[in-house]
Amino acid sequence: MFKALAELLVPSCCAGCDTPGDALCGDCKTSMSGLRVIHRSEDMPPVYALGRYTGVARRAVIAYKERGRRELAATFGGLLTDALRKLPPADLVPVPSRPRAVRARGFEHMALVAAHTTAAVRPVLRLDRRVRDSVGLDADQRAGNLAGRLTCVPTRAKVILIDDVVTTGATATACCSALTRAGAVVLAVVALTAT
Ligand SMILES: [Zn+2]
């Protein structure tokens, strides 16, 4: 409560570079305004990212996820809306967070970003409680961590999967497989940032 009040009283600053003003300044927004192809292969939809997971973009994503800068959901949602104009129209499926992370954070961070886009949102993926934090895990370990713990509600929609950071691609691959098995047509994966 106190923190929420303090945030109302203290002037806002850029989550990327601390410049007083908007939640993300113009320069920092520019670093997350692309739509770069990260990965393209036969067995998976193309993976894109708006920016690199480094510098101010990395700082902004961490501020949103771990430092309570929830207002960045609107900023990221706007950036994502702009980027998605370059892709065919589709509903957005946010990559789900671990239930424990959602409780700690107080919100589903990618679902909240999706809610701030102009696209329809289909939160059809679910992670169960046994999934561990994937920080420090390699691609095989990440795939093992998700195996059998990621479920999808049946849907025939055309969808774009959205995530905050694409690292090894293991999470995106597992989510695309679950969506495809459930009947969805996955057109692309779009991440805010990629390593
Ligand atoms: Zn900035």
The answer to whether residues 117 and 90 touch, using CB atoms and an 8 Å cutoff, is no
Q: Rounded distance, CA 138 to CA 182, Å? A: 26
What is the distance in A from the centroid of ligand 1 to the CA of 48? 23
Ligand 1: distance of its center to the CA of 162 in Å?
Answer: 23
Residues with CB under 5 A from ligand 1 (ion): 14, 16-17, 19, 25, 28
Q: Which residues touch 128 (CB under 8 Å, ≥6 apart)?
A: 99, 149, 150, 151
Give 42-96 pLDDT, tens digit per residue: 889 999 999 999 999 999 999 999 999 999 999 999 999 999 999 999 999 999 9
Residue 137: both structure tokens together: 């895990």
Q: How far is the CA of 20 from the centre of ligand 1 (A)?
A: 9
What does the pLDDT look like over 115-172, one tens digit per residue? Answer: 999 999 999 999 988 888 888 888 888 888 888 889 999 999 999 999 999 998 899 9
Q: How far is the CA of 195 from the centre of ligand 1 (A)?
A: 20
Give 26 Cα–ligand 1 centroid separation in angstroms. Answer: 7
pTM to 2 decimal places: 0.91
- Cβ neighbors of 78 (< 8 A, separation 6 or more) are 116, 117
**Domains, in order of start, for the chain:** 32-194 (3.40.50)
Instruction: Measure the N-to-C terminal CA separation of the chain; round to a whole number of Å.
Output: 35
